Amino acid sequence: MIETKKIVAIGGSAGSLPVVLQILQTISPNFIIPIVIVLHRLKNTPSELDKIVSITRSDLKLKEPDDKEPVYPGYIYIAPANYHLLVEADKCFSLDYSEPVQYSRPSIDVTFESMAAVYGADLSAILLSGANNDGMEGITRVIEKGGKAIVQSPVTSEYPVMPAAAIRKNPAAFVCTPVEIIGYLEQLNPF
Amino acid sequence: MTNEEVDEIILLLHREHGYDFSNYSPASFKRRVLRVIALNRIANFYDLKFALVNDKKFAGHFVQEITVNVTEMFRDPQFFSALSSRVLPTLASYPSIKIWHAGCSTGEEVYSLAILLHEAGLLKRSRIYATDINTAALEKAKKGIIDVRLVKEYTQSYIKTGGKNDFSSYYTARYDNAIIKKELRESVVFSQHNLVVDGAFNEFQLICCRNVLIYFNRVLQNRVLNLFYNSLAPLGFMGLGIKEAILFADIKNKFDAVDNTVKIFRRKD
Ligand SMILES: C[S@@+](CC[C@H](N)C(=O)[O-])C[C@H]1O[C@@H](n2cnc3c(N)ncnc32)[C@H](O)[C@@H]1O
């Protein structure tokens, strides 16, 4: 089996879905680095996954992880509604039904922070459009642990508040347009 | 706080107070510890250790705070409607029905289940044993009090499960609270049970344990799933949280999936 130590985390809120879809439409079918996507969404709505699956390509391996499921290469994971999604040191997912953080569950901060602790420099975290402050702390943790932190440029964001807050707090984060983000992901893949 | 420091706290809680958290999921456990530190304005790791050793009251409070007691009524309406359509009709064939609700927290899911049993005409023949490690949560559960501000949301979830009645017929509103009707409360026995160390205490036709296993590592999940298996009557049902799996347990082949999307299983023999 092909091995990769790397991993990608993507967090988005209002206005981020089109960018996520754009990434998923263009990503190489050989992209083996696992991607973990955390999107804010309405409570008790049927899974966002179904929607994403229905409008993206059928060759992508998209999945809402179950608790304690190992992180596999080649998979794109979507955080399930109403849970925080964490990754444990043994590289298995762990779900958490504790209080929302910054009014959000799943919280981007929680996932970024937990993945930063486990993956360190192997993590690339990408924060997209949104109208709140989630992700700002998470990006800080990613940088502290030596990971690559990328924030969607506010001018290209439908809702610039979230990326702008993250950039203000984290001058070391890379500010990128969606096209640059896609380019970055392409060169990250070993094939 | 480093992982080693968290391990020290776990050792200390076990040694001084008899609570063993060593097989909890490390990432969420650590978040919990940090949360208690922040809420109680504890300055550093040493102060925390000192308080845990010397302040018995604080230690008790700490254990209550470490467990995640978040819950709601009719969370995951698909789960509850699947219980109604795929489990309750079978339970109806038993003269008396015994149900174990493990990790019931403040009781919201227990009362949701009692409502379904009532609507299926089964409540009078049913006894629900609701357990949790957290005694403060159990005390609250017994009272059957819900915050009136949540009633609107619960009503919507109730309707989504296919509920047949007026949700307001299940509680009495008083000031800021809604109190669950007595007939529902009377069908439940609440008691403390620690899934880490306590054993089987009865035989059940249905066990519900939702969003508790996520806090355990695979070793402890395995123990608890074996305990559930041994506490189920032959062909008894088990309902877990919709993102919880039995895939990683040695006992997985002894269950059939009744509904794999909402995680309802059935003991094979
Ligand atoms: C998130 S709540 C789940 C409540 C409810 N079942 C739901 O899904 O809405 C988790 C519960 O598990 C309980 N719990 C944690 N560790 C436990 C243990 N070792 N034994 C029994 N209950 C435990 C906690 O006290 C808490 O009430």
Q: How is A73-95 classified by DSSP, letter by letter?
A: TTEEEEPPTTSEEEE-TTSBEEE
Whether A2 maps to a domain, the answer reads no
- If you search the block for the tokens 């493990």, which residue do you land on? B102
Q: Does A101 touch chain B (CB under 8 A)?
A: no
pLDDT tier, A1 (very low <50, low <70, confident <90, very high otherwise): low
Is residue A148 predicted with pLDDT exceeding 90?
yes
Interstrand relation of B145-147 and A7-12 (parallel, antiparallel or unpaired):
unpaired
Q: Does A107 touch chain B (CB under 8 A)?
A: no
Summarize pLDDT for A46-95 with one digit per residue, the tens: 556 677 777 778 889 999 999 999 999 999 999 999 999 999 999 999 99
Question: Which residues on chain A are in Cβ contact (under 8 Å) with B160?
Answer: 44
Burial class for B232, CB neighbours closer than 10 Å (0-12, 13-18, 19+): buried
pLDDT tier, A119 (very low <50, low <70, confident <90, very high otherwise): very high
Q: How many domains does chain A have?
A: 1
Q: How do the pLDDT tens digits run along chain B, 269 residues long?
A: 899 999 999 999 999 999 999 999 999 999 999 999 999 999 999 999 999 999 989 999 999 999 999 999 999 999 999 999 999 999 999 999 999 999 999 999 999 999 999 999 999 999 999 999 999 999 999 999 999 999 999 999 999 999 989 999 999 998 889 999 999 999 999 999 999 999 999 999 999 999 999 999 999 999 999 999 999 999 999 999 999 999 999 999 999 999 999 999 999 98
pLDDT at A56: 76
- Do B214 and A96 lie within an 8 Å CB cutoff? yes
The mean pLDDT value of chain A amounts to: 93
pLDDT at A26: 92
pLDDT at A48: 65
Q: Comparing A190 with B118, which gets the higher pLDDT?
A: B118
Is residue A180 predicted with pLDDT exceeding 60?
yes
Cα distance between residue B173 and residue B180, in whole Å: 9
- Do A44 and B245 lie within an 8 Å CB cutoff? no
The first and second tokens of residue B61, run together, are 């409070």
Q: How far is CA B112 from CA B122, B161, B190, B211, in A?
A: 14, 10, 15, 15
B76 within ligand 1 shell (Cβ under 6 A): no
Tell me if residue A90 is catalytic: no
**Sheet of A7-12, strands arranged across:** A61-63, A75-78, A35-39, A7-12, A123-127, A148-152, A174-176
Phi and psi at residue B129, to the nearest 5°: -95, 110
Q: Does domain B77-267 have CATH number 3.40.50.150?
A: yes
- Tell me the domain boundaries of chain B: 3-67, 77-267
Cα distance between residue B84 and residue B90, in whole Å: 10
Phi and psi at residue A126, to the nearest 5°: -125, 125
Q: Ligand 1: which atom is nearest the Cα of residue B24?
A: 16
Q: Give the sign of the dihedral formed by CA B180, CA B185, CA B190, CA B195.
A: negative
pLDDT at A4: 84
Of A65, A94, A97, which has the smallest distance from its Cβ to B211's Cβ?
A97
Summarize pLDDT for A12-59 with one digit per residue, the tens: 999 999 999 999 999 998 999 999 999 997 554 555 667 777 777 888
Do A105 and A41 form a contact (C-beta atoms < 8 A)?
no
pLDDT at B24: 98
Question: Which residues on chain B are in Cβ contact (under 8 Å) with A80?
Answer: 242-243
Whether A160 maps to a domain, the answer reads yes
DSSP designation for B212: S
Ligand 1: residue of B32, B67, B213, B240 to mutate (most ligand atoms within 8 A of CB) is B67
- Do A67 and B214 lie within an 8 Å CB cutoff? yes
Query: In terms of C-beta distances under 8 Å and separation of at least 24 residues, what long-range contacts does A141-144 make, across chains too?
Result: A141/A112, A141/A113, A141/A116, A141/A117, A142/A9, A142/A112, A142/A115, A142/A116, A143/A170, A143/A172, A143/A173, A144/A116
Domain that holds residue A64: 7-188
Q: A16, A40, A107, A157: which is the annotated catalytic residue?
A: A40
DSSP designation for B255: E
Do A47 and A11 form a contact (C-beta atoms < 8 A)?
no
pLDDT at A45: 53
| CA nearest to A28, candidates A52, A3, A62, A60 | A60
Interior/surface letters A168-183, b for 16+ CB within 10 angstroms, e for the rest:
eebeebbbbebeebbe
Whether A1 maps to a domain, the answer reads no
How many interface pairs between A and B have CB atoms less than 8 angstroms apart?
A: 69
Contacts of A95 (CB under 8 A, 6+ apart): A65, A67, A80, A83, A84, A85, A86, B214, B243
Contacts of B4 (CB under 8 A, 6+ apart): none
Strand-pairing partners, residue A75, are A61
Whether A150 maps to a domain, the answer reads yes
Is residue A190 predicted with pLDDT exceeding 90?
no
Whether A123 maps to a domain, the answer reads yes
Q: Does B177 touch chain A (CB under 8 A)?
A: no
Whether A31 maps to a domain, the answer reads yes
The CATH number for A97's domain is: 3.40.50.180
pLDDT at A3: 73
pTM above threshold 0.90: yes
